Structure 1
Amino acid sequence: MGDERRAPRRRTVVRLVSIVVVLAVVYALVVTLYAISGHVTGLGPAEPEPKKGGVIVVLNVEGVDAAHQRADLSVYIKPSETFFTGNGLALAEDIHVIVSPIEGTQSIVFPADSAIATKPVRVLSDGEIGNWPFDGYRADELIVLAYVTNGGVSRPIPTDVWFTGDVPGWRVDVALKGKAPKETPATLAEALSAPQYIDFRATRSSSTVAFAFVLLALLLVMPCLVLFVAITAFRGKRKLEPSFMGWMGAMLFATIPLRTFLPGSPPIGSWIDFTVVLWVVVGLIVGLAIYVAAWARWGHPER
């Protein structure tokens, strides 16, 4: 008898421990994915040094505007010593940097006789936010080129590009396309006719995708619970509690706040609304209707 009584308790303990272990693994996985996400990768293991008479163009990725298909970057240059004045702080001549395609003027000027300042730019990219969280944004032919102008003639200078930055919730990858010219082109037109392109891609990080699926799974649990309670009450297997209708209404009104809590703020009308959120609302309303039918069936007026 003692063993028979202890067996159900052991099964209960095993189930509870299993649930705790699964929750701990999911928690650790989401936190780990978040910790390793956001860092911009590509274009070499370490930042290069500027060539003699050339510059390093540093692009710091600061954010991704999915709604407007833009990437926010800041541009900074590290010229070789030949471009500085005697004090080593100010530029001796204007340095122009072409970053294209971006919003506004494609050429950024770092003026002479002044310290180098960071310039903000917005890179144009292709993508569709309606595919959240599997949406990606890409600029296939991003051009970054530096040049100087002397006597009204623009002359390209040796240009290396370096990307950096941390963008929480995103994975940003950059890669060079094509071969770099062996020698610096003599004219700006020649440099622009056959440039080395940069492939820029931003996708949601694994942590964002994991967060999304956990939250969507929780949304799906809500109508399952409501339908279980409603059907059980309608069949007369549990005592009818009219106060449960308030709980079901609260679950219904909690759906939209949970939906807006999704990371990245997917717009209304995304695929998740048609495949998940709509049916969560339908399930909650059906469950509430079944519970009202159970109340009409089993409820007794007070005498």
Structure 2
Amino acid sequence: MTVETPPTHAAPPPKKRSGLLVGIGVLVAFIVVYGLSLFGFHVLGESAAPLKAPDLNAADDTVVLIRLDELKTVANRLAVKVLVYPKEEMWDSRLDVLKQDTAVRMDPPNDLGDLVYPAGKSPAQVATTVDAHGDPEIWPFDSYKTDTLSADVLVGSGDDRKYKPARVEVAGKLEGWDVSVQRVGEGGQEAGGGDSVIITLHRSKAPLIFDLGICLVLFALAALALAVVIPMATGKRKLVPPFGGWFAALLFAVIPIRNFLPGAPPPGAWIDQALVIWVLIALVTAMVMYMRAWYKKSD
């Protein structure tokens, strides 16, 4: 009587096993790097503390609230919305309306001049812009700072109008920017008082990771193009005709990728001089080398 032995499965070849281990290692490394990048982005995204809630108590003085809206870096202008919280004696609490015509005059002047809030109506936000000094050419390391913003309130109409001081408060946030407010004036910065403010804006740290990634992509386009074309031009690799369209696609992809940078740096910024123009030169050089090699082969 013969006993049948169960078939034995052959062990996978060493090359397949090593390839599997390399694949698993690459996958694990990608997951680790991806997780660390998300964690770093989250940590850097919380680097700037939000603005303190504005003090809107108008029992003793009128409050002019400046709500941040948008920073126009190239124009050096900060778009804001201004709302007045009048002193109690100027306010009809029964109807929730102003008792007298009121106007806010900011110093330095904003683009709209006096911001008017008519009597008999509840104040509404008025959109305007103020100066924000900075250099957009050094993106993404640029920062912007306003002059000392103060405000007076003109109450009444005609020759009976009177100046009344107001306290400026700042609220809101801008995506991609860290905002800080410095109080100045008679109260003194150390005392945390003062009726005037200086607004400073720095780019957040988190978008810098994305900026670095885009720059690496641009650098990789040029490096890949040269790495492919040099062996073809020297005869070490076979000339592949479809690569002509690939080089053209890389060339025309540079500008859209550059314009995708957060904050849209102005044309001619240092990033163009230090990286973009050299990427374009490298891609054009690769195309010229490829066309020269193709011309020789066609003969």
**Could you state the TM-score of these two structures normalised by the residue count of structure 2?**
0.81
Structure 1, unmatched stretches of 5+, are 182-194
Report what 1:122 is aligned to: 129
Aligned to 2:29: 18
For residue 26 of structure 1, what is the amino acid of its counterpart? S
> How many Å separate the matches in 2 of 1:290 and 1:205?
42
Superposed CA deviations along residues 243-291 of structure 1, whole A, max 9, x for unmatched, are 1111011101111121222222222111111001001001111222222
Task: State the alpha-carbon separation in 2 of the partners of residues 49 and 267 from structure 1.
Answer: 38
Equivalent residues in 2 for 1:96-115, closer than 5 Å: 96-104=103-111, 106-115=113-122
Count, aligned residues: 282
Question: What corresponds to 1:187 in structure 2?
Answer: none
Q: CA deviation at 1:105?
A: 5.1
Where does residue 151 of structure 2 map in the other structure?
144
User: What residue number does 2:67 align with?
Assistant: 60
Gaps of 5+ in 2: 1-10, 189-193
- Which stretch shows the higher mean deviation, 22-31 or 104-113? 22-31
Give the structure 2 partner of residue 289 of structure 1.
Answer: 288
Question: Paired residue for 1:226?
Answer: 225
Structure showing greater relative contact order (alpha-carbon pairs closer than 8 Å, 6 or more residues apart): 1
Cα 1:114–1:143 shift into 2, 3 Å: same
Query: C-alpha separation between the residues in 1 aligned to 2:133 and 2:74?
Result: 11
How many angstroms does 1:146 deviate by?
Answer: 3.5
Return closer, same or farther for 1:178/1:272 CA change in 2, 3 Å cut-off: same
Counterparts of 2:58 and 2:264, CA distance in 1: 43
1:192 match: none
2:208 aligned partner, one-letter code: V
TM-score under structure 1 length normalisation: 0.80
- CA shift for structure 1 position 225: 0.6
Distance verdict in 2 for CA 1:17–1:235, change over 3 Å: farther
1:148 and 1:53 mapped to 2: Cα distance?
16
**CA spacing shift, 1:141–1:86, aligned 2, 3 Å:** closer
2:126 and 2:99 map into 1 onto residues whose CA distance is: 19
CA distance in 2, matches of 1:16, 1:239: 32
Instruction: Give the direction of change, closer, same or farther, for the CA distance of 1:295–1:104 in structure 2 (3 Å limit).
Output: closer
User: Structure 2: how far apart are the matches of 1:117 and 1:8?
Assistant: 68
Query: If you compute each CA radius of gyration, which structure gives the higher value, 1 or 2?
Result: 2
1:184 counterpart residue number: none
CA separation of 1:76/1:46 partners in 2, compared to 1, >3 Å: closer, same or farther?
Answer: same
Q: Is the 8 A contact 2:181 2:199 kept in 1?
A: yes
Question: Residue 154 of structure 1 aligns with which residue?
Answer: 162
**Residues 133 and 208 of structure 1 are in contact (CA less than 8 Å); yes or no, is this contact kept in structure 2?**
no
Q: Distance in 1 between matches of 2:185 and 2:142?
A: 26
CA contact (8 A) 1:137 1:203 kept: yes
Q: Structure 1 residues 86, 64: CA separation in 2 closer, same or farther (over 3 Å shift)? A: closer
Structure-2 change in CA distance of 1:227 and 1:292 (3 Å): same
In structure 1, the residue matched to 2:199 is 200
C-alpha displacement at 1:24, in angstroms? 4.5
C-alpha deviation, 1:75, in angstroms: 0.8
Aligned AA (1:255): V
Partner residue in 2 for 1:85: 92
CA contact (8 A) 1:136 1:204 kept: yes
1:105, 1:40 → 2: CA distance? Answer: 31
1:40–1:163 contact (8 Å) kept in structure 2: no
CA-CA distance at 1:179 after TM superposition: 4.0
Amino acid at match of 1:15: V
Please report how far the alpha carbon of residue 175 of structure 1 lies from its aligned counterpart in structure 2 after TM superposition: 1.4
3-state secondary structure, aligned to 1:265 = coil
Task: Provide, for residues 66-125 of structure 1, a one-character-per-residue CA deviation record: whole Å limited to 9, x for no partner.
Answer: 121110111112234332226231111233323222434543332222211111221112
Aligned match for 1:50, one of 42, 57, 69: 57
Amino acid at match of 2:201: A
| CA-CA distance at 1:238 after TM superposition | 2.8
The worse-fitting range, judged by mean Cα deviation, of 112-121 and 164-173 is 164-173
TM-superposed CA distance for 1:65, in Å, is: 1.1
